[in-house]
Amino acid sequence: MASAVNLQELETFLPKEDKGRIVLAGGCFDILHIGHVRFLSEAKKMGDYLVILLENDEKVKKLKGKNRPIFTQEIRAEMLSALICVDLVVALPMMENDSDYLKLVMKIKPHIIAVTENDPHMEKKKLQAEIVGGEMRAIPFVKTLSSSALAKIVGVD
């Protein structure tokens, strides 16, 4: 099972530079579904070590609405950590701006930043990857019910 860590513990759990290629991905992962699993599996194939940046509850609420997240960051981290393709989950504090994310990416120094092909922040992530000498790679979007659609079906949103 993968580890779930906070920012203070991060450097202890990152592999040394010569221990393989780091792939970085991030998101809310509120209601884990097949689209998430396929995305993360494809991301892992791009390297040796898959690191997930997991948004905190306040950020999910801001992005998804007052009734979200369905699951706390702690529970979401545990679910992601149980996936065989995930090596490390980083529980993020509230990140206020793009420079906060960039500082974190510079600390992790991923070889690849994995995104879905419809990621609204693709250009920012591509720039982050270039700054650390890596690359951004887009993974095809999996057509399935999103976490938000699933939340509506069960009457949460």
Contact in structure between 5 and 91 (CB atoms under 8 Å) = yes
Render pLDDT for 101-150 as a digit per residue (tens, 0 to 9): 999 999 999 999 999 999 999 999 999 999 999 999 999 987 776 667 66
Work out the pLDDT band at 11, boundaries 50, 70, 90.
confident
Nearest to 92 by CA among 132, 129, 52, 50: 52
Which class for 12: exposed (0-12), middle (13-18), buried (19 or more C-beta within 10 A)? exposed
Segments making up each domain of the chain, as ranges: 3-8+18-153
pLDDT tier at 19 (50, 70, 90 boundaries)?
confident
SS3 7: coil
pTM over 0.85: yes
User: 3-8+18-153, which class in CATH?
Assistant: alpha beta
pLDDT score recorded for residue 15: 85
Would you give the distance in Å from CA 57 to the centre of its chain?
14
| Percent of the chain clearing pLDDT 70 (strictly above) | 91
Q: CB–CB of 79/105 below 8 Å? A: no
pLDDT at 84 over 70: yes
Which residues, listed in sequence order, are joined to residue 89 by a DSSP beta bridge?
4, 52
